[in-house]
Structure 1
Amino acid sequence: MEGRKSPKMLAAEGSFCLLKTLFKGGKVTMTRQVGGSVFLLITVFLLMPMSWTRRGVPADTFKALNNRLRTLNQQFKRFQQMTSTHLQRIGKNHNVTNNVDFKFLSQQFERISRELRSFREMTEHSLNSLKSWTKSLQKKTNRLHSSLSNMTRALWQNNHHNLREIHKQRAALTDLSHKIQKQQSQIDSLESLKDQVQDGMQDLQTSLKKHQTRIMKLESQIQELLKIISTSKAEDPFNSIRKQHGVLMRHVQTQPKSREHRIRERLLLRSTKQPQTTIRERQWQSTTQPTVQAHEELFQLPLRHKIPHVQSPKEEAKICNVGSMLLFPSTSTENYAIFQKTFQTGIHELSICTWLKVDAKYVGTIFSYATENNDNMLVLYGHNSGKLGLMDFVIGDPTYRELPSQNILDGEWHHLCIIWSSIEGRFWYYLDRHLISNGSKFQKGYEIPPGGFVVLGQEQDSLGGDFDVAEAFVGRLAGFALWTRTLSPVEVSGLADGKGVPQGAVLSLDDVDQMSGSVQHITCECLEHCV
């Protein structure tokens, strides 16, 4: 039993039969030409749909091809009738019998057409299944893409959180190492002091032995004097005693200071931290006492409570609204302070006020606020390069304004207030109650975004890190505060005069969460006591 033949084989067989019929007899040249053309057209139009279908031609193109095949079928039928009529005419004229079997050709063509229709239906079904599979694959791809986006976002947030935790742990470790170094230095100083005390005790023991021998000698001399007094009856006993007492006084006063006495003075100085004049006064008073009292004090170690502690009087305070102070002792990238709080909402107005005392030739970074999108979102700093008498007030890098700072670099306390409003972009710069600079159209309508990182003493080149030693602050900051509104000139003047602190401050030195390096947080209500 023969298998089912493919459309290609059927087309070839039909074409061969057509040629065989047309070329039977081999007498008519026109018939041969017509047969060859018909064979070529049938072969080309049968093979083209199959090759296109294998390459994945779209459904619209396949429908156009079917319409074209229908048109060709109609044209072929008309051509068949014309050919049959023409052949019959030729046969009559030349006495040639027409043996072309058009019925067989029609059957072959119908069979080929059925095969093509079945193949077209099968192809359309395959295309439809392929289309549905493509849609489902597109849906799965979209779901995978959204899942991948969510995973990427979560991974980025996790990395950002881990980075902040690493910065905090690194800062805590550096602070702990500084504390350990300080404790180690204190332990070393205590050990050296212990060695000195042990040496002093040994010296005291040796000096005590020497004085015991001297006391024994003095007792023997007193016994000899008593013997002389008992034997001499003619002389006045009190007069002889006075003479001997005078000899002893002169002997004691002319004796050089012993090593024990000098060690005693050093111990007094260390235990009481009194100036040398107090000890000399006590020595002068001890030499003016009677001999017996001098000997008693000589062999008794002084008690600490016997020496009064003189407190130096404090300076009269006038500005007592600062609360506390931060001390930045040196130029280092390790010296900075971090705030516990940050901005919860967007900022359209702000006021930054502080007392500052600069110990360098440039201002350095007073305040730095960075976000994920901009590490210079809000900065007030001057750096150790370029013009030293200027500092930059930055809002949304790279937009900034230059403010004069030459009068701040004299090593004295100065009160500074910088105010900004997004309405018309106005800003004001006050120094010691006086308006130094102002302007407009500075970030008009701008909003400072929330959720950033606030640092004092260093300028952030990344979120909470990448500090530059040339931009570090060296000096003291007292009474620092930040408001999310504009202060009036009366409030600024009241702050500088020490009359009080305006309400509504969102950040102050009480909100400092962590101090790194050698930064110290000193409590002092009045500015005159912040040293």
Structure 2
Amino acid sequence: MKGCRAAVSFLLFVIYLHSQSASRQVSAQKNTKNFLNRLKRLDEKFRRFQQETLARLHGIADSYNLSYDADGRFQVLTDQYHNISVLLSDFQARAANDLSSLKYWTKKLQRKTKKLDLKVTGLEIALKEQRKMSQKETKKQKSLLFNLTQQLQDHRGWIGSISAQRSELQGGFRDLQDALKKQVDMTSQLQEQVRTLLRKDVLTSRGSASSVDSLTSNRTPQEPPTRSHAVGLEPSRRIFPVRKKVQDKPTPGKRVKNRLPSPPGPTRLPENARRRPQEKPEAEILEEPRIHDLSQLPLIHKIPQRPHVPRKTGTICNVDSMLYFPSTSTENFVTFRKSFLTGIHELSVCTWVKVDGDYVGTLLSYATEDNDNKMVLYGRSSSQRSLDFVIGDPAYRELPVDALLDGRWHHLCVIWSAIEGRFWHYTDRRLTSTGSKFQKGYEIPAGGSIILGQEQDSLGGGFDAAEAFVGRMAGFTVWNRVLSPGEVSGVATGKGIPRGTVLSLNDVDQIHGSTQHVNCGCLEDCM
């Protein structure tokens, strides 16, 4: 019994322990969950703390590095300041250049506005004068119309009177026709009477012939003897008029010999009398006497003889002619009889130049109604060592011209293409300057005004003496294409002119002022 009780107690104790362990496991599981949640929260807080500490440590490190590298940073800042100062100086220089160009263009615009104002005032005055002239012309026309109406009325009266006289003349003309018909009837009756008499009577002697002549002489002088009178008769009965021989009138101081009557019969004229006088040939009539001695010519026809001067043979003989601009005058310029017929996308301008001044001046100026600087090659007194190449104002490029200012002949070629905006500048066959992106895709329009020697501020005018060309220009030629370096060299050495020319000195229309156009085949003769 005691063993059973012990076993039961032991079982009860085991069951109690098992129940306690189960409850402890449940509570332990709950505690582990809570512990894990707390651990997660602590981990998150630790991470936040770690990030904040790292950020603060980085800030402390950066402040330490800044204080440590202050000299290096200061040197970098000084270099940056120096670079900025250099850029500012360059910008100031460019701004000054732009301001100077703006001042120049403003002055030019002011001059243009003044010229336009003067032109407007001149046009207003001309319009007023034209109105006055038109009023006077209208008055004159009214008076002329009034006079014309009066003259027309007078002419109508004269026409009426002439028509009346015409009717009277027509009546008189009818009367004359009737009288003529009567005379024609009378003449026909007389002709019939004469024919009947001729048929009845046979005339054998001269007396009878004279009687027939007396009968035939009764005809009216208006009707000439017809051919039927002689054709209808027999050969022996044909009547010929008897001509009386006119005797020579005796001249004073000469005795007139009694001439015997010539025997009857047919008389023959001498052969010399039958022949007509021979006419002179036309060559003898038209030919004038030649003068073989020049001293016999009058003073008007004498040609002065010049001494023969031997000329040197030239090497550059493709210039044809030369233009001479003697002074800086607004009246010295040259115009052309034609312009560009089509728009130009490529251009080549070549010429021989001999500059007599300190700057080049205007070589070529092409202006249209829209823009007076469509294409210009000009240098001003302010820019002595450069030549502005303008295409479509205000786009331009500066070309160096130091080599042209020594007073000698130099060959100049300026070439431009709109394909890539390329341009080439040749001086004496050498490429002096070049560039790109200059008016790419631009077209120079046609139909403008082309002038040599002056720069146009308006279409065909607006000249300035400070922009005039002074010197000589020979062999000026323009092509509508890009010349190759070989072609430029050939033109400069006198090996001919390439194809595609659109303008030359042969197309010059008018020469103004004291400008001279001299024909010279070779450059050596263009002095």
What TM-score, normalized by structure 1, do the two folds share? 0.42
